[in-house]
């Protein structure tokens, strides 16, 4: 049975949380450099303050692939590198919601430059991504 999410505002306008251990990052269609930098700064502060594991969903359905530049890809790659120690320690998994092959190619390019320190899986369906991410929090025997 699927968990019913009760999402509330979290540490950044693009991020909502259901609890202290589950977050949904919803990216806008177009992102300016200063907005992206603000998101990265807020995310870094969040990760630096963590004391417990979490799972998340990165909802990329709004992102327009034509608007994503090499500068955006490099910024995400650099961010992944800066926070990989925190991600390795605290992030049990990220479900990525991507609805087409172009988006998948963008993620592949970013993760090729800087592989994530956390488990991830790509989904075409938001609910499936949430279900997978939530399952990553469950202890395995």
- Computed over every residue of the chain, the mean pLDDT equals 88
Spatial separation of the C-alpha atoms in residues 141 and 135, rounded to whole Å: 13
Task: Give pLDDT tens digits for 19-41.
Answer: 889 999 999 988 888 899 999 99
Six token digits for residue 137: 């929090």
Domain ranges of the chain: 8-135
pLDDT, position 33:
83
Helix, strand, coil shares of the chain, percent, nearest 5, are 45, 20, 35
| Predicted confidence (pLDDT) at residue 110 exceeds the cutoff of 60 | yes
Mean pLDDT of all residues in 86-98: 95
Residues 6+ apart with CB under 8 A from 37: 75
Domain 8-135 in this protein, CATH class? alpha beta
- The region, left, alpha or beta by phi > 0 then psi within -120 to 50, assigned to residue 24 is beta
Tokens 């799972």, located at residue: 55
């Amino acid at each position: 049975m699927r968990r019913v999410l009760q999402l509330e505002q979290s540490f950044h306008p693009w991020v909502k949380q259901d609890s202290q251990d589950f977050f949904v990052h919803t990216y806008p269609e177009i992102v300016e450099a200063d907005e992206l930098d603000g998101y990265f700064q807020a995310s870094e502060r969040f990760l630096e303050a963590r004391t417990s594991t979490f799972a998340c969903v990165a909802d990329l359905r709004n992102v327009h692939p034509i608007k994503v530049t090499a500068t955006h890809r490099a910024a995400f790659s650099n961010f992944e590198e800066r926070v990989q120690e925190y991600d390795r320690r605290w992030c049990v998994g990220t479900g990525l919601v991507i609805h087409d092959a172009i988006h998948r190619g963008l993620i592949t390019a970013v993760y090729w430059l800087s592989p994530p320190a956390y488990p991830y899986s790509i989904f075409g369906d938001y609910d499936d991504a949430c279900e997978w991410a939530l399952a990553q929090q469950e202890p395995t025997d």
